[in-house]
Amino acid sequence: MRLEGVTRAFAPGQPLFRAVDLTIRAGERVALCGESGVGKSTLLNLIAGLDVPDAGTVEVAGIRLDALDTEARTRFRRDTLGFVFQAFHLLPHLSARRNVMVPLMLAGRGVAVAGAAADAVLADLGLAARAGALPGELSGGEQQRVALARALVHKPALVLADEPTGNLDPATARGALDRIFAQCARSGATLLMVTHSPEIAAHADRRLVLGPQGIAEG
């Protein structure tokens, strides 16, 4: 994954960040830190192709995002990315298992294939017994693991996680993060995770700090 000269401004003449260069090697697990409001979520959205930079280029898994039209960008997100949000964003009326099947169903895989893959990743995350539960029946830590299962089920090359444990108590958060790191290591996925916790960041291969001056190794 490579950013070159990436600039994003929401107000004219007031860039949130300017000319950010960043290369993350395949399989690397990177923590992204920085104060609230510096633009960490914006940076993740640019890498996900959900937002477009005012200058510079974003390349993920060898694909230049600016070269893609809307349809190709949607396909890129579906095939190449897993996204874990702070607030989980599970579909409330679908069981855990059905939630995890969604990325594969969207990719046109059959129900049997999607179900088997969902069962495997839910079992890996210790959730086999909870597969039939609705999100509202799960604890915060369980919902977070379902969200992680959904982000990983299609074996994405890049997992983006935006403060994925922000809504969990410290002990549950630590368990969930151990699982994120372990699962990405296992699948060979590149991980870029926003976190406020120095302790968690210490577990990553690399720590980056985003500030008004740009990105620095931390």
- Residue 97 makes contact with ligand ADP by CB under 6 A: no
Dihedral (CA of 120, 124, 128, 133) sign: negative
Q: Binds 100, which of ligand ADP, Mg ion, none (CB < 5 to 8 A, cut-off by type)?
A: none
* Binding segment toward Mg ion, per CB under 5 A, in 18-26, 40-48, 132-140, 178-186: 40-48
Side-chain half-sphere CA neighbours of 5 within 13 A: 4
Q: Which of 36, 112, 129, 217 binds ligand ADP (CB under 6 A)?
A: 36
Are 119 and 131 contacting, i.e. CB atoms less than 8 angstroms apart? yes
Report the residue from 29, 39, 41, 157 that binds Mg ion according to the rule CB under 5 A.
41
Rg for the chain, CA atoms, rounded: 17
- Residue number, 27 or 166, with CB nearest to Mg ion: 166
Task: Rank residues 35 and 178 by Cβ distance to ligand ADP and give the closer one.
Answer: 35
Query: Could you give the residue ranges of the DSSP H alpha helices within 13-167?
Result: 40-47, 70-80, 96-106, 111-124, 140-152
Among 10, 21, 52, 66, binds ligand ADP (CB under 6 A): 10
Question: Residue 42: which of Mg ion, ligand ADP, none does it interact with, CB under 5 to 8 A by kind?
Answer: ligand ADP
**Using the rule CB under 5 A, is 42 a contact of Mg ion?**
no
The CA-based diameter of the chain, rounded to the nearest angstrom, is 53
Q: Residues 11, 2, 165, 203: what is their CA dihedral angle, to the nearest 10 degrees?
A: -130
41 makes contact with ligand ADP (CB under 6 A): yes
